[in-house]
């Protein structure tokens, strides 16, 4: 039976995550995502997504130390980065640099060590490409900073605030995995041919680059910048509704109720109330926009999606738009590698049929 875009077709059985759009639930390894990430770091959440269990305190420290070990970028990768044209996008650069990791250590059989090394170095590569693109000196990673804090440090060379680290880390943990999305499927298709981890991630990055998948939440940032202050929310939104414009950051193609990731990002913003004006503005704007939408479109439930608060977080940490999709990928590479490892353990090559409709 032909189904355009394979919509609704089940091609994979997985124990990594599940998305229930009707209930508004996202689960990692069978557990609600809010239970998984609560009180956990990026590194701990990644471990749970790969293994479905937590480590004891001693093992956990060893695990975090292993993240530090792989932050060093090989010299040949740095030289390739320097040769890339400055007008190339960061996603183009990441696709090139990850593909250049092919070596004896990244042989045909994917392994957890390969996954760990590429997840660890991915934000380092992102920061390296960004600094080179901007004509700025390269900043070395710091062993005293965790995965998220080190990423912010390498991008800017200034000490990130606690509020910035907590907000971004919440976003990263919630973006690690989201079912059989296009980039995850691309990674699994590639490794199903018995190709290697590097090739699978190169496929995933190329897929994430597409605006229909990894598109940046710039529309929401434009909305918040137009609003500027809580006093202007009603005026700006009413004007947009009068002109028939779409309010960016509301509605989702999968969730029929509130996006669970949006709820958790909102809670993170509420917990940081008073710490950052942009996060405070986002919370106020959401409440007022929903009220106005309910007035104009009664009976049509519209909720914020993950992009709304992701945009607020990106704006609060002064993340330039060129880094939105790469930062999304800093998180999603954890899910990609989890799926590559799962596919490899019980592999069958993907080989769907096509229906000829020519003359």
Strand, helix or coil for residue 23: coil
Question: If DSSP states are collapsed to H, E and C, what string results for 175-230?
Answer: CCCCCCCHHHHHHHHHHHCCCCHHHHHHHHHHHHCCHHHHCCCHHHHHHHHHHCCH
Give the count of beta carbons closer than 10 Å to the beta carbon of residue 134: 12
CA 310 to chain centre: 10
Q: Which two tokens stand for residue 204?
A: 């995933």
Helix (H) or strand (E) holding 26: strand 25-28
Q: Which own/partner contact pairs does 206-211 have at CB distance under 8 Å and 24+ positions apart?
A: 206/95, 207/182, 207/183, 208/91, 208/182, 208/183, 208/325, 208/328, 208/329, 208/332, 209/89, 209/91, 209/92, 209/95, 209/325, 210/182
User: Which of the following is catalytic: 286, 307, 339, 342?
Assistant: 307
Those residues with Cβ within 8 angstroms of residue 195's Cβ, 6 or more apart along the chain or in another chain: 108
User: Which of the following is catalytic: 252, 286, 339, 342?
Assistant: 252
Strand, helix or coil for residue 20: strand
Active site residue 252: yes
Is there a contact between 168 and 148 (Cβ–Cβ < 8 Å)? yes
Those residues with Cβ within 8 angstroms of residue 223's Cβ, 6 or more apart along the chain or in another chain: 236, 247, 248, 249, 285
The vertex-121 CA angle with 62 and 124, nearest 5°, equals: 120
End-to-end CA distance of the chain: 20
Q: Where in the sequence numbering do the catalytic residues fall?
A: 252, 307
């Amino acid at each position: 039976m032909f189904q355009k875009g394979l919509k609704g077709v089940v091609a994979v059985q997985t124990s990594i995550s599940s998305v229930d759009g009707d209930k508004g639930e996202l689960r990692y390894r069978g557990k609600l995502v809010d239970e998984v990430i609560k009180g956990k770091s990026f590194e701990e959440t990644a471990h749970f997504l790969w293994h479905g269990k937590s480590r004891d305190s001693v093992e956990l420290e060893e695990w975090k130390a292993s993240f530090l070990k792989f932050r060093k970028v090989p010299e040949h990768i740095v030289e390739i980065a320097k040769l890339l044209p400055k007008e190339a996008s960061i996603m183009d650069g990441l696709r090139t640099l990850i593909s250049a990791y092919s070596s004896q250590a990244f042989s045909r059989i994917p392994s957890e060590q390969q996954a760990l090394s590429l997840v660890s170095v991915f934000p380092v590569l992102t920061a390296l490409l960004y600094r080179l693109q901007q004509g700025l000196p390269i900043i070395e990673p710091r062993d005293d900073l965790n995965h998220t804090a080190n990423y912010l440090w390498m991008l800017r060379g200034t000490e990130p605030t606690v509020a910035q680290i907590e907000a971004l880390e919440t976003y990263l943990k919630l973006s690690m995995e989201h079912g059989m999305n296009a980039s995850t499927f691309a990674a699994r298709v590639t490794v199903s041919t018995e190709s290697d981890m590097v090739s699978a991630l190169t496929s995933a990055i190329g897929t994430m680059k597409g605006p229909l998948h990894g598109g940046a939440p710039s529309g929401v940032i434009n909305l918040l910048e137009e609003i500027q202050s809580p006093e202007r929310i009603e005026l700006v939104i009413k004007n947009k509704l009068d002109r028939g414009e779409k309010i960016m950051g509301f509605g989702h193609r999968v969730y029929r109720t509130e996006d669970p990731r949006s709820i958790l990002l909102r809670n993170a913003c509420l917990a940081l109330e008073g710490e950052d004006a942009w996060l405070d503005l986002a919370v106020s704007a959401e409440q007022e926009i929903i009220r106005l939408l309910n007035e104009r479109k009664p009976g049509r439930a519209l909720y914020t999606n993950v992009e709304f608060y992701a945009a607020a977080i990106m704006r609060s940490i002064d993340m330039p738009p060129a880094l939105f999709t790469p930062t999304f990928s800093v998180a999603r590479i954890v899910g990609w590698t989890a799926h590559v490892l799962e596919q490899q353990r019980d592999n069958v090559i993907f080989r769907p049929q096509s229906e000829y409709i020519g003359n």
